[in-house]
Amino acid sequence: MKISAVDQSPIFSNTDANLAIRETIELAKFCDSIGMHRFWVAEHHGSDSFAGCSPEIFIPSLANETSSIRIGSGGVMLMHYSPYKVAENFRLLESLYPGRIDLGLGRAPGSNPFQAGALAYGSKTTSPEFFTTKMNDLRSFLIGEKPETEAFESVDVTPGLGNLPETWLLVSSENGADLAAFFGLPISLAHFIEQDCLHLADRYRKNFKPSVFSKVPKVSVGIFAICAETDEEAISLSASASAWRKRVQQGKSSSFPLVEEALKEVKETSSNPLSEDTKRPFVGSKNTIYERLQPLIKLADPEELKIITICEPFEAKTNSYKLIKEVFDQN
């Protein structure tokens, strides 16, 4: 089982976006040092919670600071952008860092409607209904063929740029699984967003069409996980994310609280403050997480797990990744 990381550059109450970005760089270096397979950064806009807003800008810094781990986007929200520009960006990145670049594509906005409008800046092709057309054109630009859209027939990608980067689709719905199968894209199931998505792996495999992106179906699963020496320590570390989720459910926009602040906050609002986190399957010790992962592995049969960990202090986060990597190195 390949173990990878996805980092959203979370902002905590004692930090800011600048520090969050720098911690992501340090985390990528650490993940590289322990032999993880890939490291993806997310795209969020206008967020008090996450600092990562531009994967294509972030990726070269991360690739420069690492040596062997694959670096990519998790993901670029294609609905906002020109497929031509995305293709040139990532073929250029592949030229700069051959064999190490991933283009993970997302269909969600990663923003509210106001930010989406600012990103689009007048474009009328930002709704999900245009995704198939954009994906068709992106595929053509990535592989150097004439696009299907008539208006772009005379458009060429800058000659001599890098080869096709490894290209994935982030999936949490039947429609996403069907699109990935139709285009022959590897999929990353977003279990951390939609826990009832694992059955989509079978649907995807049954409908998969070989393509320039992949000759065979490839499945990875993105999970939220926090691992520590004991279950109790991991559950305590998860309090920051738990309190943040409660705030979001209440319509509050905020950074992630520190553990002490979060524990106090959830205690004041619940008779069993960490009951939510005791139900989260992948918060615990190495043995707990390994045992709780078995049903997921049996159902989705992934080749790779992409781990999202949000906790503080930073040393606890790196230790969590190390422990999860050890789980699969030892089994």
- The pLDDT tens digits of the residues spanning 282-291 come to 999 999 999 9
How far is 174 from 84, CA to CA, in rounded Å? 27
How far is 315 from 140, CA to CA, in rounded Å? 43
Classify 2-238+280-329 by CATH class: alpha beta
Instruction: Return the structure tokens found at 238.
Output: 């998860």
Burial (CB count <10 Å: 0-12, 13-18, 19+), residue 57:
exposed
DSSP codes joined into one string, 256-316:
BPPHHHHHHHHHHH-SSTTHHHHHSTTEE-HHHHHHHHHHHHHHH--SEEEEE---SSHHH
Instruction: Return the structure tokens found at 280.
Output: 């989260």
Would you say 308 and 317 are in contact if contact means Cβ atoms under 8 Å apart? no
3-state SS, residue 2: strand
> Residues of the chain whose pLDDT is less than 70?
109-117, 119-129, 268-280
Task: Give the single-character DSSP code of 199.
Answer: T
- The CA-atom distances, in angstroms, between 323 and each of 5, 66, 256 are 13, 20, 23
Q: CA triplet 82, 135, 150: central angle to 5 degrees? A: 70
Extents of the domains making up the chain:
2-238+280-329
Output the pLDDT for position 80.
86
How far is 76 from 26, CA to CA, in rounded Å? 22
Output the pLDDT for position 157.
85
Q: Which residues face 50 on adjacent strands?
A: 10
How far is 260 from 116, CA to CA, in rounded Å? 35
How many other CB atoms are found less than 10 A from the CB of residue 173?
15
Output the pLDDT for position 205.
98
How many other CB atoms are found less than 10 A from the CB of residue 99?
11
- The CA-atom distances, in angstroms, between 289 and each of 80, 198, 230 are 37, 17, 11
How far is 315 from 121, CA to CA, in rounded Å? 41
Output the pLDDT for position 119.
66
Burial (CB count <10 Å: 0-12, 13-18, 19+), residue 152:
middle
How far is 262 from 239, CA to CA, in rounded Å? 6
Which value, to the nearest 10 degrees, does the dihedral of the CA atoms of residues 67, 70, 71, 76 take?
170
Output the pLDDT for position 117.
63
Q: CA triplet 81, 87, 89: central angle to 5 degrees? A: 85
Output the pLDDT for position 273.
47
Task: Give the single-character DSSP code of 56.
Answer: H
